[in-house]
Amino acid sequence: MEAFETKKKVVIWVLILIGVYVLSDFLIYVGINSTYKDIQRQDSNSQVVVYQADATFVNGRIRGMIKDTDEIQGKYLKVELYTKRDVLVGKSYIEVKDKEDSKTQPFEVLFKANDVAYYKIDSVKEKEPGSELEILPKELTRGEILLATALAFLILW
């Protein structure tokens, strides 16, 4: 009878932990996404369909699809980010890849720039050197991953 009570307590604790995890994950998702506000598009490029464009005060994201990639193969899409006062705060380039099997290409631009209010998308033949924003998240090196894992274990231990 005592073994049954112990199993019952373990099951209750596991259910409580799962509930706390699900609730905290939901609250984090809602909390982070409620800080994003939509940003406007100021161009008429019909080859690019944007389905998500939003930003916080310090970062943002633009996601979409490039249609009819045959016309602009080997070129780049230039995404320019502007503030409310028409100040250019950064540029990002997306390479249009040569795809024989598909006429569309998805893209995602994650950026770190302050106070972005609108953006423009244009196709260009080549990148302008030294003018591109740092894309987030950048790829971590093996050493950085090991260091972060070790620090996480130290904090949790």
Q: Kindly state whether residues 25 and 49 are assigned to the same domain.
A: no
Q: Are residues 52 and 115 in the same domain?
A: yes
Q: Which residues pair with 122 in a beta bridge?
A: 78
Query: Does residue 48 sit in the same domain as residue 29?
Result: no
Q: Are residues 110 and 58 in the same domain?
A: yes
Q: Which of 66, 58, 79, 63 is nearest to 128 (CA)?
A: 79
- Domain range for residue 2? 1-34
pTM value is 0.67
Q: Tell whether 59 and 107 lie within a shared domain.
A: yes
Output the pLDDT for position 131.
63
Are 78 and 54 within one domain? yes
| Sequence letter at residue 136 | L
- Distance CA(107)–CA(119), nearest Å, equals 15
Q: Which residues of the chain fall below pLDDT 70?
A: 1, 69-72, 99-102, 130-140
- Provide the edge-to-edge strand list for the sheet that holds 48-55: 37-38, 48-55, 60-66, 105-111
Same domain, yes or no: 26 and 49: no
Predicted local distance difference test score (pLDDT) of residue 104: 81
Does one domain contain both 7 and 77? no
Pair (60, 4) in one structural domain: no
What are residue 124's DSSP bridge partners? 76
| Residue 58 confidence (pLDDT) | 84
